[in-house]
Chains A and B, each alone.
Chain A
Amino acid sequence: MLMTGSQILLECLKREGVEIIFGYPGGQVLPTFDALYDFKGLKFILTRHEQGAAHAADGYARSTGKVGVCLSTSGPGATNLVTGIANAFMDSIPMIAITGQVPTALIGNDAFQEADITGITRPITKHNYLVKDIKDLAGIIREAFYIASTGRPGPVLIDLPKDVQVAQTEFIWPEETKLRSYNPRYFGHPGQIKRAAKLIMEAKKPIIYAGGGVITSGASGELLGLAEKTGCPVTWTLMGIGGFPSKHKQSLGMLGMHGTAYANHSIMDADLIITLGARFDDRVTGRLDMFAPNSKVIHVDIDPSSISKNVHVDIPIVGDIKQVLAEVLPEIKHAPSIEGWLKHVEDLKKKCPMGYKDKDKSKILPQYVIQQIDEATEGDAIICTEVGQHQMWAAQWYNYNKPRTFISSGGLGTMGFGFPASIGAKLGRPEKTVFNIAGDGSIQMNIQELGTCVANKINVKVAILNNGYLGMVRQWQELFYKKRYSHTPISSPDFVKLAESYGAVGIRVTKKEEVRPALVRAIKTDNTVFIDFHVEEEENVYPMVAAGEAINNIIGGLA
């Protein structure tokens, strides 16, 4: 049957299991939007900005584990996706971005709304395509989904010129995709697995360091198995949140710049770091040459380029974490003897616990708001965040128990990510309560997506920790720039009126005793809710390790 390029695109998306496309129309994707008009089986969500579409597709992918899809026109539509694509790339999120392009005959002619989007996105995509012949289209889409969702996942962009969207050809669905140059390795090397097991059994001070790879690979069950079989304490990265239950007795919480003091001290004192899908980011290791000086390192990662990139690895294992752990576990014949070590770790927990000082009882502390959200949702919500102080408090003070319940921009640190991501998360997991925890600065970066929420009845709760500052930058200015608050005080609109003007619900909270009732009301409300929490203005995120310091050189906190 003859089909147009646009019809082939939509048919392929449907066959790939896509349910929702996030996007925005424009001149060079008109044929595709025309095909979408009466196409059955694909839901389209019109965002209010293409960046919102990319982040929503990303949030959908993180909450479901499926591939997120966004669609925009050429030129400015495509360049508006760029931040969202880079964000997905840094956090290894499977995403397909489809952009319209000027007709092939005009490419390179500075045509209206032309941008070389494959050139622009080359370093921030796992792969990208410019489709020049309609006969290649179905195969390219199939390949794109295969590449985006396998190995270390990532975004793939498909640039589709208008004439290719209009052209017709016989539709042939390629049954399988094979690439001679792309074969991700899932099974661990048997010799390395035996060596890793031996090292684990012989360790005196082992620690498990879990990253986003545990979530991607769906390995939280295996991680729990490894932890309970060996008795090792477990710490995780920002991306690893939810991979291990927060309240488990072996849990040390997040490590790194704003990690728990006891997680940082523990990893520094360890003699074996069992690294699972983490990449020794500078926010985790602090000063590299002082990081865990007496420790051997086992590193399991599906991406060989992550291994020995920053830290020397003694036993590298390239493979899928779920698979590799299933292979390692039977090789561990007995738990290591680590009673002394566990006592040391327990002592650290007692000596430097997580906490905050509630100096002025009349003020609302941001940490308290997060704890109240935790209690009000019984730790079972999906929490999205923007980037800044509120993000760190959301990471520290909510008790996550399941994977894919903490959705945050880790690698790129994109302000404006959380709100559109929460839209994607809610559409992906409609049965869940979805919160976006935001700062007053971040929420203003993609606040236009209120329109998307209300128009599509997307029931997300936005908790704004409003302190009148770009708080994280202000904190650095306070600590490292003599309190010279250069352009960090920021004004905001009346968030309550703003929400109401869009048809959403707005609640303002200025007293501590109003926090819980406001949350209960928001959760019960069947509408998008903005809660404007007026919190302590100059509260800092602690514990903290200054950039470039050893991670046991901790400032602030209770110890």
Chain B
Amino acid sequence: MKHTISVLVENKFGVLARVAGLFSARGYNIASLAVSETFDPKVSYMTIVVDAKDEKVLEQVNKQLNKLIDVITVTDFTKKEYIDRELVLAKINYTPKDKSKLEAIFHKFVGKIILRKDDTAIIEAVGDQQQIKVLLDELNKFGIKELIRTGKLAISN
């Protein structure tokens, strides 16, 4: 089962390696990871998505995360209410006749074309995991040349 875990940490070098190490040492792959400073520059916020094969192992990882000296709080959102978003940048095949088709898509999703050049367009879009999945299926009909995702951001509600 996929877990979304947020970790509030001291903004110091080496913290990311400490956090990531707890997953890698158990053979767990981090599906996505987003890190940045908070309003307080001494504190960073990480959102980690991990696919846990064994819930007991993940519980142990969460406890071990709490034990790290530079970790301030750990929240596993899995059984909680939260809002999540992800930003996607995609470079797709594009010709002017595709314009209306693309505009139709952006009626349904939060996104826009940010650059058009020759036969490609770079688009940005924001949404939750389900929306992003549907959007990518739609965009794939044009042909996706390059895709970059921030990974999930999550905030409790």
Residues of A within 8 A of B (CB): 118-119, 122-123, 126-127, 130, 147, 179-182, 303-305, 308-309
A305 contact from B18, B67, B72, Cβ within 8 A: B67
B16 to nearest A CB, angstroms?
11
- Most B C-beta atoms less than 10 A away, residue of A119, A181, A308: A181
A304 contact from B14, B63, B71, Cβ within 8 A: B63
Q: CB distance B14 to A130 under 8 Å?
A: yes
Q: CB distance A182 to B69 under 8 Å?
A: yes
* 8 Å CB interface, B8-49 against A: 10, 13-14, 17-18, 21, 25
Q: CB distance B14 to A179 under 8 Å?
A: no
- Most B C-beta atoms less than 10 A away, residue of A126, A303, A305: A305
B69 contact from A123, A130, A181, A305, Cβ within 8 A: A181
Q: CB distance A305 to B64 under 8 Å?
A: yes
In the complex, 13 of the A-B residue pairs with CB atoms within 8 angstroms, ordered by the A residue number, are A122-B18, A123-B21, A123-B25, A179-B69, A180-B72, A181-B10, A181-B68, A181-B71, A182-B69, A303-B67, A305-B66, A305-B67, A309-B60
In Å, the complex CA distance between A305 and B58 comes to 12
A182 to nearest B CB, angstroms?
5
In Å, the complex CA distance between A305 and B10 comes to 21
In Å, the complex CA distance between A303 and B21 comes to 20
Q: CB distance B17 to A122 under 8 Å?
A: yes
* 8 Å CB interface, B73-105 against A: none
Number of B residues with CB within 8 Å of any CB on chain A: 18
A126 contact from B10, B60, B69, Cβ within 8 A: B69
Asked if B51 CB lies within 8 Å of chain A CBs, one says no
Asked if B70 CB lies within 8 Å of chain A CBs, one says yes
In Å, the complex CA distance between A127 and B70 comes to 9
Q: CB distance B17 to A181 under 8 Å?
A: no
A140 to nearest B CB, angstroms?
12
Q: CB distance A119 to B67 under 8 Å?
A: no
In Å, the complex CA distance between A130 and B68 comes to 16
List the A residue with the shortest CB-CB distance to B14.
Answer: A118
B66 / chain A contacts, CB cutoff of 8 Å: 304-305
B42 to nearest A CB, angstroms?
10
In Å, the complex CA distance between A121 and B64 comes to 16
B74 to nearest A CB, angstroms?
10
A123 / chain B contacts, CB cutoff of 8 Å: 21, 25
List the A residue with the shortest CB-CB distance to B67.
Answer: A305
Q: CB distance A181 to B70 under 8 Å?
A: yes
B102 to nearest A CB, angstroms?
46
A126 / chain B contacts, CB cutoff of 8 Å: 69
- Most A C-beta atoms less than 10 A away, residue of B14, B18, B69: B69
In Å, the complex CA distance between A265 and B14 comes to 47
In Å, the complex CA distance between A119 and B24 comes to 14
B95 to nearest A CB, angstroms?
48
List the A residue with the shortest CB-CB distance to B59.
Answer: A308
A303 / chain B contacts, CB cutoff of 8 Å: 67
B128 to nearest A CB, angstroms?
30
List the A residue with the shortest CB-CB distance to B69.
Answer: A127
In Å, the complex CA distance between A348 and B70 comes to 49
B60 to nearest A CB, angstroms?
6
B13 / chain A contacts, CB cutoff of 8 Å: 130
A179 / chain B contacts, CB cutoff of 8 Å: 69
List the B residue with the shortest CB-CB distance to A304.
Answer: B63
In Å, the complex CA distance between A127 and B69 comes to 7
List the B residue with the shortest CB-CB distance to A132.
Answer: B13
B68 / chain A contacts, CB cutoff of 8 Å: 181
List the B residue with the shortest CB-CB distance to A129.
Answer: B14
In Å, the complex CA distance between A29 and B42 comes to 32
Q: CB distance A119 to B63 under 8 Å?
A: no
List the B residue with the shortest CB-CB distance to A180.
Answer: B72
List the A residue with the shortest CB-CB distance to B22.
Answer: A123
List the A residue with the shortest CB-CB distance to B18.
Answer: A122
In Å, the complex CA distance between A127 and B14 comes to 11
- Most A C-beta atoms less than 10 A away, residue of B14, B25, B66: B14
In Å, the complex CA distance between A114 and B10 comes to 27
Known: A118-B14, A122-B21, A123-B21. A147 touches B69 (CB 8 A): yes
Q: CB distance B21 to A305 under 8 Å?
A: no
In Å, the complex CA distance between A291 and B87 comes to 49
A181 / chain B contacts, CB cutoff of 8 Å: 10, 68-72
A304 / chain B contacts, CB cutoff of 8 Å: 63, 66
A529 to nearest B CB, angstroms?
43
In Å, the complex CA distance between A336 and B71 comes to 43
In Å, the complex CA distance between A180 and B42 comes to 12
In Å, the complex CA distance between A303 and B71 comes to 15
Q: Taking A181-B72, A305-B66 as given, write out 10 further A-B residue pairs in contact, using a Cβ cutoff of 8 Å, ordered by the A residue number.
A: A118-B14, A122-B21, A130-B14, A179-B69, A181-B68, A181-B70, A181-B71, A182-B69, A305-B64, A305-B67
In Å, the complex CA distance between A328 and B140 comes to 65
Q: CB distance A305 to B63 under 8 Å?
A: yes
List the A residue with the shortest CB-CB distance to B72.
Answer: A181
List the B residue with the shortest CB-CB distance to A306.
Answer: B63
In Å, the complex CA distance between A119 and B71 comes to 18
In Å, the complex CA distance between A118 and B15 comes to 12
A118 / chain B contacts, CB cutoff of 8 Å: 14
In Å, the complex CA distance between A394 and B115 comes to 75
A182 / chain B contacts, CB cutoff of 8 Å: 69
In Å, the complex CA distance between A222 and B68 comes to 30
In Å, the complex CA distance between A147 and B17 comes to 19
B21 / chain A contacts, CB cutoff of 8 Å: 122-123
Across chains A and B, which 3 residue pairs bring their CB atoms closest together, nearest first? A305-B63, A127-B69, A181-B72
List the B residue with the shortest CB-CB distance to A309.
Answer: B60
In Å, the complex CA distance between A181 and B74 comes to 11
A132 to nearest B CB, angstroms?
8
In Å, the complex CA distance between A369 and B92 comes to 80
In Å, the complex CA distance between A309 and B18 comes to 21
B25 / chain A contacts, CB cutoff of 8 Å: 123
A130 / chain B contacts, CB cutoff of 8 Å: 13-14
A119 / chain B contacts, CB cutoff of 8 Å: 17
Q: CB distance B60 to A305 under 8 Å?
A: yes
List the B residue with the shortest CB-CB distance to A307.
Answer: B63
In Å, the complex CA distance between A509 and B59 comes to 54
A122 / chain B contacts, CB cutoff of 8 Å: 14, 17-18, 21
